[in-house]
Amino acid sequence: GQTADFRGSIRDKEAQDRLHSQETVVKSAQTRQDAVEMARKRLREGRVSSVNVLDLADALADLETEEGYEEAFSVLNQYYEKTRDFSFKRRVGELKLRRLRSRIRAINEQLKSEPQNAELKEKQAQLTAAMEQEELEHYRLCQENYPTDLRFKYEYGRCLVRAQQFDQAIPLFQEAQRDAKLRLISMDKIGLCFLLKGWHEDAIDIFQKALSECPNQESPVAKDIRYNLARSYEAFDRKKEALEMYRKLAQVDFGYKDVGQRIDNLRKDVTK
């Protein structure tokens, strides 16, 4: 139904955001290999530090080969076992996610020329599921090991929303909103959890408060809050208020999600 479609649109947007979040720096194969050798040399000379270990792991990952990634994981796990320094474990998670994103990008490129290839679609689905599970576990560990870093609470909450674990996600966003930089996006996610739980009145309260706090009513987060508020009104059968909210959003960004279609549908309902 509509809720399932809404969850799907959230998942699709997050997948695109993740895949394009890192800029790829083009390096020659020789430059990459040289970086590995320089990093190895520093450790051989006894210049062992977390920075130098992480540099070696990053250089190995930059080779973009299975062997490079596997050696990077081996190096990081070796030093984690020696020191119990979580920064090594954290980098393992980051590099695993990087490798999965790279694989998904490659599949997506293939699908452009073979859009009906069922085998590629199945592989894409498998890799996406693996990445989502890896990301969930990665941020679970990060927020446990960095309890005062509210960014990790937000990211773990975001993963929990995707896994439809709304009751576990809400307290994390409530903590994350204490960080001024995370406040609005955390409130947006709290409202979204209430909406997806079917707590429409609570979702409306949260979205209204969040929208009132937006310093720029045309910012991306303000648009998302306005859209989610309209969805909440619509789900609660307050169609006139939903239509008004969608209209205001369309006046700012007519191409935002499915706003145009929703306005057309609601106009028909409201005038009946």
- In tens, the pLDDT along 92-107 reads 999 999 999 999 999 9
Q: Say if residue 262's pLDDT is above 90.
A: yes
Q: Say if residue 6's pLDDT is above 90.
A: no
**Which pLDDT score, from 0 to 100, does residue 269 have?**
79
Choose the weakest-confidence range: 7-21, 84-98, 111-125, 141-155: 7-21
**Which pLDDT score, from 0 to 100, does residue 15 have?**
59
Secondary structure (3-state) at 250 = helix
Residues 197 and 258 in one domain: yes
pTM confidence score:
0.84
Q: Say if residue 272's pLDDT is above 90.
A: no
- Of the pLDDT bands very low, low, confident and very high (cuts 50, 70, 90), residue 270 is confident
Residues 94 and 21 in one domain: yes
| pLDDT top residue among 10 and 195 | 195
Domain hosting 216: range is 179-272
Secondary structure (3-state) at 195 = helix
Residues 120 and 205 in one domain: no
Sign of the four-CA dihedral 141, 147, 152, 153? positive
Amino acid letter for position 241 = E
Q: What is the DSSP letter of 46?
A: T
Give the domain-ending residue among 95, 126, 146: 146
Q: Is residue 156 part of a domain?
A: no
Amino acid letter for position 113 = S
Residues 194 and 105 in one domain: no
Output the domain CATH number for residue 1.
Answer: 1.25.40
Domains contained in the chain, number: 2
CA distance 19 to 212: 32
**Which pLDDT score, from 0 to 100, does residue 24 have?**
45
Residues 141 and 185 in one domain: no
**Which pLDDT score, from 0 to 100, does residue 268 have?**
85
Residues 138 and 11 in one domain: yes
- Of 151, 175, 147, 170, the residue nearest 160 (C-alpha): 170
- Residue 17's Cβ-count burial label (10 Å; 0-12, 13-18, 19+) is exposed
CA distance 163 to 143: 17
Q: What is the mean pLDDT of residues 3-20?
A: 61
Q: What is the mean pLDDT of the chain?
A: 91
Return the half-sphere exposure (C-beta side, CA atoms, 13 A cut-off) of residue 232.
26
Structure tokens at 107: 């599949």
Q: Say if residue 25's pLDDT is above 80.
A: no
- For a pLDDT cut of 70, what percent of the chain falls above it? 89
Secondary structure (3-state) at 260 = helix
